Amino acid sequence: MASPASILLVGLGGAGCAMVTRLSAQLPGEVAVALLDTDARALAAGGPGANLQLGRAQTRGMGTGGEAALGLASAEAEEPALRRLFAGVPVVVLVTGLGGGTGSGAAATVAGLAAEAGATVLAFATMPFSHEGERRMRQANEAAAKLGQKCHGLVVVHNDLLLQQVTPDAPLSESFAAADAWVGGALRGLASAFAPGALIAVDPAALRSLLATPGSPTLFAFGAGQGEGAALKAARAATDCPLAHAPGAVAKVASLFVHVAGGPAMTSTEAFEAVAAVRTRFGGETSTILCARLEPALGDRIEVSVLGASLPAPKPAAKPKKGAKGDDPAQPIFEFATEESMRRGLFGGTPMTFIDGQDVDVPAYIRKAVRLPPSP
């Protein structure tokens, strides 16, 4: 009998299900898969593992048509089934695309239920392309804020960034493949970390201690290297990983989880070198959990995945006292940089300005998905 799955990979909504389905082929046995969607056809198309159709009564098997409220109601209606799904699972990885109806509406609820069931919840959320317009972006931003409160770790993947990773004339599938490579690499890393037979082994509880507090800013990076000095190349690729450099990503974190996987040729010296390189870039002063394992299939290739978390930003004061002065928007308030404020920089607190359906306060190079020359 197979050992009980230590990680449950949940795809939520159209985008999430699509990504999970693409990933499921390359996942190790420790990862169980579940697909959640309101669109019956998307689920019927197949996919491995447990499938759960949300909101049978609300949507009658159709999608939500981009209505977040409908997505929320659909998830709430399936609460008992979701609780059963999450019962006894130590780690839940939720993959979803924000901006649409099911993802934006249901993500926070699903993550909340999983957390209540006692699981450590790590969410990967993709944000819509800038070209998808104001409404989806707003919906996605609201959903990301809510989701961040509910799950232990949240990694936001900007679709705009995906475009920057490939040459302008590359087919669309290539940029999605790049996203799959990152998330898939991380999941493989996470999953195999807990499997027996690692050079330096950890158990799922390590991840729990890393992502102990809900709502903590999460750092995620993945890199691979091949040939001579593969470990350092992989570490370099991980530190240069666009996910870690996205505007709004966390630059330094307190706790790090570094997973190094390589072929039989990898030595522990190499593994430690890679970890040291990652640490100089990302911090990890409080604790660094190292995990290394040999995978013959990798050959002379070495993969480094990094997951990190800091303490969450303090909550804003609930209510100003009576008679106290109201919020002065022009007053420079000391606050932690948020996803939104970092992406829009100095215009973080100002209303969005739309021209041709794009928020023009977001830097042009991000919207046009142009890859910048590397820094010296």
Partner 1 sequence: MTPKPLPSLIAVIDIGTHKTASLLGQVIDGKARMLSFSERRTEGVVKGTVTDLEKLTHCVHEVVNDIERGSGRAVEQVYLSLSGPAAEGERVKGFIAVPAHDGKVTAKDVADAVASAKRLEPPAGRSTLLYMRQPTMLDNRAVGNPVGMTGKRLEVNFWRVTMEEGNMRMRVGMVNGLSIRVRDFILAAHAAACATASDADKQGGVLVVDMGAGTTDWILYYKEHILCAGSIPVGGEHLTNDLSVALRISRETAEDLKQRFGSALHRETDVNQTIWKDGDKGVGDQQFNRGTITQVLSLRYQETIDFVRKDVLRRLEQIFPGHAVRLDQNMIPSGVILTGGSANLADAAEAVQQVMGVSARVGVPDFENESLRKPEYAGVVGLMTAALADAPPPVVRPRGFLAQLKALFRF
Which residues of the chain form contacts with partner 1 (CB under 8 A)? 247, 251, 328-330, 342-347, 350, 353, 355-356, 360-361, 363-366, 368, 370, 372-376
Check residue 347 and report its DSSP letter: G
* Cβ closest to partner 1, residue 30 vs residue 160: 160
Compare residues 320 and 354 and give the one whose CB is closer to partner 1.
Answer: 354
**CB 353 to partner 1: min, Å:** 5
The Cα 220–Cα 267 span in angstroms is 24
- Of 80 and 351, the one with the shorter C-beta distance to partner 1 is 351
Distance CA 30, CA 25 (A): 13
> Which amino acid, 234?
A
Distances (CA, A) of 315 to 38, 214, 312, 339: 33, 12, 8, 15
Q: What's the closest the beta carbon of residue 51 comes to partner 1, in angstroms? A: 41
Closest to partner 1 by CB, 2 vs 330, is 330
For 286, the enclosing helix (H) or strand (E) is strand 283-294
Single out the residue of 117, 93, 91, 293 nearest to residue 209, CA to CA. Answer: 91
| 150 or 344: CB nearest partner 1 | 344
Q: How far is the CB of 130 from partner 1 (least distance, A)?
A: 12
Q: Cβ(219)–Cβ(307) under 8 Å?
A: yes
Asked whether the beta carbons of 190 and 248 are under 8 A apart, the reply is no
234 contacts 225 by C-beta, under 8 angstroms: yes
Smallest gap from residue 114 Cβ to partner 1 (A): 34
- Minimum CB separation of residue 68 from partner 1 in Å reads 28
Structure tokens belonging to residue 95: 């993959």
Q: Which positions ≥6 away from 84 have C-beta within 8 Å?
A: none
Q: Which CB sits closer to partner 1, 169 or 356?
A: 356
What is the smallest separation between the CB atom of 330 and partner 1, expressed in angstroms? Answer: 4
